[in-house]
Amino acid sequence: MTQTAIAPRPKKTILRALAGETLPVPPVWMMRQAGRYLPEYRATRARAGDFLSLCYNPDLAAEVTLQPIRRYGFDAAILFADILLVPQALGADLWFVTGEGPRLSTLTDAAGVQALRPAAAIHDTLAPIYETVRILRRELPADTTLIGFAGAPWTVATYMVAGRGTRDQAPAHAMMAADRQAFAALIDRIADATVEYLSAQITAGAEVVKLFDSWAGSLRGQDFDAFAVAPTARIVSALNDRHPGVPIIAFPREAGPRYVGFAAATGADAVALDNGVSAEWAAQNVQRPGPGGCVQGNLDPRHMVTGGTALVDETRRIIRAFAGGPHIFNLGHGITPDADPDNVALMVETVRSGAA
């Protein structure tokens, strides 16, 4: 009898979960795990001088990426960078205002879209980011997965149109309504650049990549299909062609019921969940056994501020809810600057104790 060869199982826990394996203890990492809640991050940022200088300094960007790994031993490190580096590489002006956040030159019409640099031209600007990835692959512990990332086209477009973050993404919706063809062209240009950017991260050593669609929740109906689902599917397909076997996590934040079927519609290997949906609902409607059924999430970040028994109880509840399928433990959004580092340690200890 001829025996079929069995492919070796990936050893890193996050890669195992993304391949569809249900693990007795879920791997854990945290969005924005390198950030202002850590005193060592604040010290390194002070050395860099400003946020963008930190992003574009490979040695310092690698250092802040490694800091939470040294402190907590997370199962993954996520590259320290920013989603707005791609529009900067496409030709937008980008700067950060202390206490207020990012600012960009605005893009509001077809002429602005046409003036953007071609996707293949972004690499000169973004070369320091790829060097950071290479440093991290050398420096990370052997059992730690390296995650690269980019902003999804809709979210990046909202910043490019408004020139800043907005509460309801009204400027992007207005451009979409005024000239849908031009807005669709902008989404396509960002998608092409995102493929180039993530592909270069993978070539440099990223083992997983994640698409952050932080403002997906403001899209409805056909707009969600056109500007959240379709661009993600396009990026996933292109990356699968270039880098077969590299997993992709999609995060259409605040998608609500549209989380259902999102992985299947886009080809993503996992869907990250915000804390606006319950783990019990997501376990029934989003998670499924086997490849393509992994979910990531979804502890409310406020527990990193308040801590205590509620943090432990919620962590255990989420683990119980997702115990029947592949799961990566994470927050439902990024950790906030006012979080207590001791609460992060308590969360990690609770996840790994297995006492769900």
How does DSSP classify residue 77? Answer: E
Known catalytic membership, residue 45: yes
Closest listed residue to residue 172, CA positions, set 254, 96, 228:
228
Q: How far apart are CA 335 and CA 36, in angstroms?
A: 9
The span from the CA of 39 to the CA of 51, in Å, is: 15
The C-alpha atoms of residue 327 and residue 315 are separated, in whole angstroms, by: 13
Tell me whether residue 159 is one of the annotated catalytic residues: yes
CA distance 244 to 237: 10
Contacts of 254 (CB under 8 A, 6+ apart): 216, 217, 218, 274, 276
Q: Which of 159, 192, 197, 300 is catalytic?
A: 159
Q: Is 101 left (phi over 0), alpha (psi -120 to 50) or beta?
A: left
Q: Can the peptide bond before residue 298 be classed as cis, meaning omega within 30 degrees of 0?
A: yes
Partners of 31 in beta bridges = none
Catalytic pick among 16, 32, 234, 258: 32
Consecutive H or E run containing 131: helix 123-139
For this structure, is 36 an active site residue?
Answer: yes
Catalytic residue among 45, 117, 137, 317: 45
CA distance 337 to 238: 35
Q: What is the DSSP string of 151-208?
A: E-HHHHHHHHHHSS--SS-HHHHHHHHH-HHHHHHHHHHHHHHHHHHHHHHHHHT-SE
Q: 16, 41, 82, 253: which one is catalytic?
A: 82
Distance CA 103, CA 217 (A): 22
Q: Are 207 and 219 in contact (CB under 8 A)?
A: no
Q: List the beta strands (DSSP E) in the chain.
A: 76-78, 94-97, 101-104, 145-151, 208-213, 248-252, 270-272, 294-299, 327-331
Whole-number Å distance between alpha carbons of 300 and 285:
20
Residues acting as catalytic residues: 32, 36, 45, 82, 159
